Amino acid sequence: MSHTSCRPVALAAVARLWGLAVCVVVAAAGLCGCRTAPQPSREDVVRPPPDVRLRRLMVRTQIRGRGVKDERVLAAMEAVPRAEFVPAAQRPHAYEDRPLPIGEDQTISQPYIVALMTELLAVKEGDRVLEIGTGSGYQAAVLAELTPHVFTIEIIPTLAERAEETLRRLGYDTVEVMAGDGYLGWPEHAPFDGIIVTCAPEEVPEPLKEQLREGGRMVIPVGPQWTHQTLYVLTKKGEALEQKAVIPVRFVPMVR
């Protein structure tokens, strides 16, 4: 075949290749009519929602930063959305390190105190835990991150009902809530590996001592009403309770 007869074929092939290259470039530029879905930026992919960021900041600065070291407790505090347990008007303050009003002259404890008391209780997976003073249900939710056997008593029926609704809505279905006198404990479910009291009696209730399992712990503020009390860790040893004072605190009084 002569060179003259081969040239048109070669030029046609080059033209086709050139056209394909142009199409690829144009398509890459998004100009050839082939639209692709916009890709999220790296920040969009890794940046968590605002509530999660606030929880992480709360744990890092207010809780871990103040000496709470139990990783399970830190994870539980990060997992539970405190904003869901306070009235709507208080939600902008939900992750501040202070107690907040929840109605009925009651408060939700500051995050650090919740974490500290939970760490002191030393909850193990499978432990049976009794809480006295459900309040908003926040402490019960934190405990439920550590064990499925959580029982909580609230003396104010409206708070008990509201707390149970919140816990169910957030998926904490294993928590059992009762409206009743926390001073008497919950003998039907005793003995308990841990008892945590979020209101302050002037002395430790005898029924709670009796319902604590051998070797079990009770974390409880004790002292005069509407003034500073002392937070204690009590460990049951036979018929006696070994007592350790932790820090001065201020809780609403235990009422009957």
Report, as residue numbers or ranges, the catalytic residues.
Answer: 109
Query: In 3D, which of 147, 140, 146 has the Cα closest to residue 71?
Result: 146
Tokens describing residue 175: 């928590």
Query: In 3D, which of 232, 254, 253, 241 has the Cα closest to residue 210?
Result: 241
Question: Taking the CB of residue 207, how many other CB atoms lie within 10 A of it?
Answer: 16
Tokens describing residue 21: 């290259």
Q: Please, are residues 244 and 233 in contact by the beta-carbon 8 Å criterion?
A: yes
Place of tokens 């900041």: 57
Contacts of 229 (CB under 8 A, 6+ apart): 200, 221, 222, 223, 248, 249, 250, 251
Tokens describing residue 153: 């008593």
CA atoms within 13 A on the CB side of 29: 8
Rounded to whole angstroms, the maximal C-alpha distance in the chain is 113
Per DSSP, what are the bridge partners of residue 128?
149
Q: What are phi and psi of 76, to 5 degrees?
A: -65, -40
Place of tokens 């991150």: 145
Question: Taking the CB of residue 76, how many other CB atoms lie within 10 A of it?
Answer: 21
Between the two ends of the chain, the Cα-to-Cα distance in Å is 111
